[in-house]
């Protein structure tokens, strides 16, 4: 059974965030470990657009999180926590956040994108041109890099897709090159 069909069955053919029934899509909650239904939600195009484009956020649309934050599916809880954290300055989202409980692993997943951190404490990853990098971005190597601990050389021009950010060091990202997960220094990449 496809992920879309499984999510449709799980959600009752509704957006798991706002309850809409039109324009539903599978939204993968980054960063993923295995992918699949446990790391995805069924969401409408309105929710997905506002999650991916913070400038398009309609605060009143997200009042639906009052219900969806209690969803039994962890991926839905993670998205709800992230959106409430993003909107917390409005007052009511902070009240909902104060009521919400996430276990340690779920909270770590929710915080993995940096949502909910104060801007002055947030680590910002930038490529060689100063462009901000985010989880899931694609980059290209701008020089040949020797991979420590192996004889592999990651060649200039190699595309690295679906990068992950190191939340303790703004200089490091992770990605797969030739099937091997490696750490890459941000000054040697350019965002695609």
Residues linked to residue 189 through DSSP beta bridges, in sequence order: 141
CA separation for the pair 23, 50 (Å, rounded): 14
Cα R_g (the chain), whole angstroms: 18
% the chain with pLDDT above 90:
67
Is the pLDDT at 101 greater than 80, yes or no? yes
| pLDDT tens column, 122-153 | 678 899 998 888 888 899 999 999 988 888 89
Note whether 28 and 135 are within 8 A (CB).
no
User: Between 92-99 and 74-87, two packed helices, what is the crossing angle to 10 degrees?
Assistant: 140
Note whether 173 and 126 are within 8 A (CB).
no
Is the pLDDT at 79 greater than 90, yes or no? yes
Q: If pLDDT is split at 50, 70 and 90, which confidence band does 120 have?
A: low
The burial of 100, by beta-carbon neighbours within 10 Å (0-12 exposed, 13-18 middle, 19 or more buried), is given as middle
Residue 31, preceding bond cis, omega within 30 degrees? yes
Rounded to the nearest integer, the mean pLDDT of the chain is 91
Note whether 82 and 109 are within 8 A (CB).
no
Q: If pLDDT is split at 50, 70 and 90, which confidence band does 119 have?
A: low
DSSP 76: H
Please tell me the predicted confidence (pLDDT) of residue 1.
66
Kindly report which listed range (94-103, 111-120, 121-130) carries the lowest average pLDDT score.
111-120
Structure tokens of 55? Answer: 């400038």
Q: Which residues contact 173 (CB under 8 A, 6 or more apart)?
A: 125, 133, 139, 163, 164, 165, 166, 183, 184, 186, 189
Residues 177-182: what's their mean pLDDT?
88
Supply the pTM of this predicted model: 0.64
Q: If pLDDT is split at 50, 70 and 90, which confidence band does 115 have?
A: confident
| pLDDT tens column, 37-46 | 999 999 999 9
CA separation for the pair 65, 188 (Å, rounded): 40
Please tell me the predicted confidence (pLDDT) of residue 168.
80
Higher pLDDT, 134 or 77: 77
Q: Report which of 110, 109, 115 is spatially closest to residue 88, judged by C-alpha positions.
A: 115
Please tell me the predicted confidence (pLDDT) of residue 148.
87
Is the pLDDT at 163 greater than 80, yes or no? yes
């Amino acid at each position: 059974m496809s992920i879309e069909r499984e999510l449709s069955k799980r959600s009752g053919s509704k957006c798991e965030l706002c309850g809409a029934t039109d324009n539903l899509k599978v939204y993968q909650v980054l960063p993923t470990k295995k992918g699949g239904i446990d790391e995805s939600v069924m969401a409408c195009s309105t929710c997905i657009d506002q999650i991916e484009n913070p400038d398009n956020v309609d605060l009143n649309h997200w009042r639906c999180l009052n219900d969806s934050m209690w969803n039994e599916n962890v991926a839905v809880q993670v998205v709800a926590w992230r959106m409430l954290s993003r909107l917390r300055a409005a007052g009511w989202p902070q009240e909902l956040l104060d009521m919400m409980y996430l276990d340690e692993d779920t909270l770590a997943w929710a915080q993995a994108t940096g949502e909910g951190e104060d801007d002055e404490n947030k680590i910002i990853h930038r490529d060689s041109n100063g462009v901000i990098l985010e989880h899931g971005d694609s980059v290209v190597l701008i020089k040949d890099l020797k991979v420590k601990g192996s004889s592999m050389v990651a060649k200039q021009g190699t595309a690295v897709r679906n990068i992950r950010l190191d939340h303790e060091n703004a200089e490091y990202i992770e990605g797969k090159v030739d099937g091997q997960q490696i750490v890459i220094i941000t000054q040697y990449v350019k965002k695609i």
